Amino acid sequence: VIVNDLPLESVAFRDLAPVHAVRRVDLPGAALRPGANAVRIEFSMRLPGLAEREACNAVPVEQAWAVLHADSALHQPLGIDRTGGEPSLTTYPYPFHRNGRIDDVLIVLPADLGKNPQAVAQFLAEVGRGTRAGLLRPTVVTAQSFDPARDPIDKDVILFGLPEDSPILGTLGGRLPVEVGTDQRLVLARELTVRVADLERLGVVEEIVSPWSPGRAVLVVTGTSAEGIDYAVEALRQRALSGNVVIATLQRPRAPVAGAVPTPQPLAFGGPAPIPLDVSSYRLRPQILAAEQDVRPPWILIAAAVIALLAILIVAAQTYAAFRGSEERS
């Protein structure tokens, strides 16, 4: 079994039933990648060699063959793997692309497309990129009409826009690893407030577990300015993502080195040229966790520690009593 040109497991025919054998192979997450994945199954059978046939006068009449039955299937678990804590942007566009479709995505856009309609168009094109469906049917609502408390949803949600254009960002509060304030401030998860200079334009992309629907995710695409939204969209286009928070800023020109050969820039086809960005990825823990992320204390270990402590105290008391008794006898 080969996944993305990486051999995973091999099975000998002698270990399988000769008629209709069933073998389960678990595909590790490390072998998978966002987008299309290739699974290849190869059969290798060894028939008697020429020397072996000449040693026997009888011509072999048996034949060997292998059949991959039509009821073979790949079972892909839905939802986000919670064992690793926060969802990771490394797997983007998953989970917002499921089976090559975006039918289970709710996109929340600013009213009147906000201050940067071009960024909205580029973002929607980015969301549709990589899908395999002939007709894309995501649900799109405005930020003013989005009310998950009033209208329960069972979809992955994408929140797009500046904080002043998307009121729902303010209600998330401590659920976001990085909160972008309307006064150009970044409130980090560790209660550290960073004020951004007027000339500093930052794009912010972060992914959290949905507080409105179990097993779903929320992608936030925002920034400290309209230009910051462009940088956030460009970071998504370049797919250079990891962690659960990405902060993108315009790459500052570097002083040329004497005698150095300039690096050629790749040509861009089918869209605008990529914006030169400095992209920084972080793994930050929000102050408020979703219900499925609530890490409960290991009660068994705590109980075992308490019992061990009581046993130590009892042994110490008995040792002290025996020592006092020996002193009184002496």
Contact 154, 213 (CB under 8 A): yes
Domain membership of residue 279 (yes or no) is: yes
Domain membership of residue 304 (yes or no) is: no
Backbone φ and ψ for 219, nearest 5 degrees, come out as: -110, 125
Same-domain pairing of 156 and 66: no
Same-domain pairing of 59 and 168: no
Residues in the chain: 330
Burial 178-193 (b: 16+ CB within 10 A, else e): bbbbeebebbebeeee
Same-domain pairing of 5 and 149: no
Same-domain pairing of 17 and 108: no
Q: Give the residue from 23, 50, 76 where a domain finishes.
A: 76
Q: How many separate domains does the chain show?
A: 2
Same-domain pairing of 17 and 54: yes
Same-domain pairing of 3 and 91: no
Same-domain pairing of 210 and 184: yes
Q: Computed from CA positions of residues 297, 303, 308, 314, in that sequence, does the dihedral angle turn out positive or negative?
A: positive
Average pLDDT for runs of 10 along the chain of length 330: 82 75 75 73 68 54 65 60 62 81 89 77 84 81 88 89 86 83 66 57 90 89 89 85 87 72 63 76 78 51 71 76 66
Strands (E) across the chain are located at 2-3, 6-7, 39-40, 105-109, 139-142, 156-160, 178-180, 185-188, 193-195, 202-209, 217-223, 245-250, 277-282
Can you give the pLDDT at residue 205?
93
Same-domain pairing of 60 and 97: no
Same-domain pairing of 70 and 209: no
Q: 62 is in which domain, residue-wise?
A: 1-76
Can you give the pLDDT at residue 296?
47
Across the strands, what pairs with 209? 217
Question: How far is the C-alpha of 305 from the C-alpha of 178, rounded, in Å?
Answer: 37
Q: Give the residue from 54, 76, 98 where a domain finishes.
A: 76
Same-domain pairing of 136 and 70: no
Domain membership of residue 140 (yes or no) is: yes
Taking the alpha carbons at both ends of the chain, their separation in whole angstroms is 78
